[in-house]
């Protein structure tokens, strides 16, 4: 019995893999599209109910997990090869990509001109620089090592891209601005103005994605609890000073609290209903 047809091979395979975890075997035939077939028509009602849920939220973690547990390398689907840049663009929106590009350009300039030169242009404002309004936000573009920028941009792309795709550029822009402003302000109180990095915004995204997923699973925004636990452990590592790491702890904690607060506000109506 023909169940449905997909244009995306990955979506077809994800649904087949998920139904396998429910004890129902489906098969895929591919031509111009990918058609899903059911051989045992006594299970059609269950399959159709699951299909309706899948169509509403095909990116839910349960379908990804099913592919790990039940997937096979003998699916018969041949994926079109794509470049790394194509994969990056598919997950990220224009704001996510623009911030990544700005961080990379600034990092290159810091290697060419020196850290202090670039920081005199972009770092958090000193006592006589408060009217240079860009400084309240551009400190987030400064990174001091390859590990520093790679770590931050991977998280920014992973979480920021998902939030921008699901909730729009405006939501990501607000999270970025508020977290950069408040995390920078708190870090400046603890360490002075010689700091930088996107990690305050990254921790805001972590807090937002985790709590939004816990309180509003239908939003499609989530962060696995294990990754959230890793973020908390990293905070503890920073505070304890283990491994000789120099970490902007105040910025991290403030960013995390900002993200949690914004997710709580955005999901109040969901919880009431």
In contact, 219 and 207? CB cutoff 8 Å: no
Mean of the per-residue pLDDT values for the chain? 85
The SS3 assignment for 93 reads: coil
Whether 14 has a pLDDT exceeding 60, the answer reads: yes
The three-point CA angle 179-182-187 to 5° equals 110
pLDDT attached to residue 5 = 85
Rg, the chain, Cα only: 22
pLDDT attached to residue 264 = 95
Whether 130 has a pLDDT exceeding 50, the answer reads: yes
pLDDT attached to residue 73 = 47
DSSP state of 141: G
DSSP state of 22: T
Q: What is the mean pLDDT of residues 242-266?
A: 82
pLDDT attached to residue 67 = 65
Between these two residues, 240 and 121, which has the higher pLDDT value? Answer: 121
Domain range annotation of the chain: 2-70, 91-272
Task: Say which residue the tokens 């708190």 belong to.
Answer: 186
Full DSSP string of 235-266:
HHHHHHTGGG----HHHHHHHHHHHHHHHHHH
Domain 2-70 CATH (choose: 3.30.70.2350, 3.40.50.10260, 2.40.160.10, 3.30.413.10): 3.30.70.2350
In contact, 211 and 263? CB cutoff 8 Å: yes
Per-residue pLDDT reduced to its tens digit, 27-48: 888 777 788 888 877 888 888 8
pLDDT band (50, 70, 90) for residue 179: very high
pTM beyond 0.75, yes or no:
no
Whether 180 has a pLDDT exceeding 90, the answer reads: yes
Give the range among 14-18, 138-142, 241-245 with minimum mean pLDDT. 241-245
In contact, 202 and 159? CB cutoff 8 Å: yes
Whether 186 has a pLDDT exceeding 60, the answer reads: yes
Residues marked as catalytic: 199, 252
Per-residue pLDDT reduced to its tens digit, 110-121: 999 999 999 999
pLDDT attached to residue 63 = 77
pLDDT attached to residue 80 = 54
Between these two residues, 19 and 137, which has the higher pLDDT value? Answer: 137
Whether 248 has a pLDDT exceeding 50, the answer reads: yes
Between these two residues, 182 and 248, which has the higher pLDDT value? Answer: 182
The CATH architecture to which 91-272 belongs is: Up-down Bundle (1.20)
Whether 127 has a pLDDT exceeding 80, the answer reads: yes
Q: In percent, how much of the chain has pLDDT > 90?
A: 44
């Amino acid at each position: 019995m023909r169940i449905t047809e997909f244009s995306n091979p990955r979506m077809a395979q994800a649904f087949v893999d998920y139904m396998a975890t429910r004890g129902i075997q489906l098969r895929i035939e591919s031509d111009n599209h990918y058609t899903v077939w059911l051989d045992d028509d006594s299970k059609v009602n269950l399959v159709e109910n699951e299909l309706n849920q899948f169509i509403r939220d095909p990116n839910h973690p349960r379908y990804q997990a099913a592919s790990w547990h039940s997937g096979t390398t003998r699916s018969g689907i041949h994926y079109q090869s794509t470049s790394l840049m194509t994969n990056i663009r598919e997950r990220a929106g224009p704001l996510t990509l623009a911030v990544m590009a700005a961080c990379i350009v600034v990092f290159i300039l810091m290697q060419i001109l020196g850290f202090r030169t670039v920081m005199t242009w972009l770092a958090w404002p000193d006592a006589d620089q408060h009217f240079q309004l860009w400084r309240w936000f551009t400190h987030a573009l400064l990174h001091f090592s390859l590990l520093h920028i790679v770590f931050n941009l991977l998280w920014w792309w992973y979480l920021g891209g998902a939030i921008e795709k699901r909730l729009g550029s405006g939501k990501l822009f607000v999270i970025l601005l508020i977290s950069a402003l408040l995390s920078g302000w708190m870090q400046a109180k603890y360490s002075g103005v010689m700091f930088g990095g996107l990690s305050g915004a990254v921790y805001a995204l972590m807090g937002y994605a985790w709590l939004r997923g816990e309180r509003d699973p239908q939003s499609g925004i989530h962060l696995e609890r294990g990754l959230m636990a890793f973020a908390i452990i990293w905070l503890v590592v920073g505070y304890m000073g283990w491994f000789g790491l120099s970490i902007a702890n105040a910025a991290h904690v403030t960013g995390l609290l900002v993200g949690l607060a914004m997710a709580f506000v955005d999901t109040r109506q969901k919880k009431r209903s």
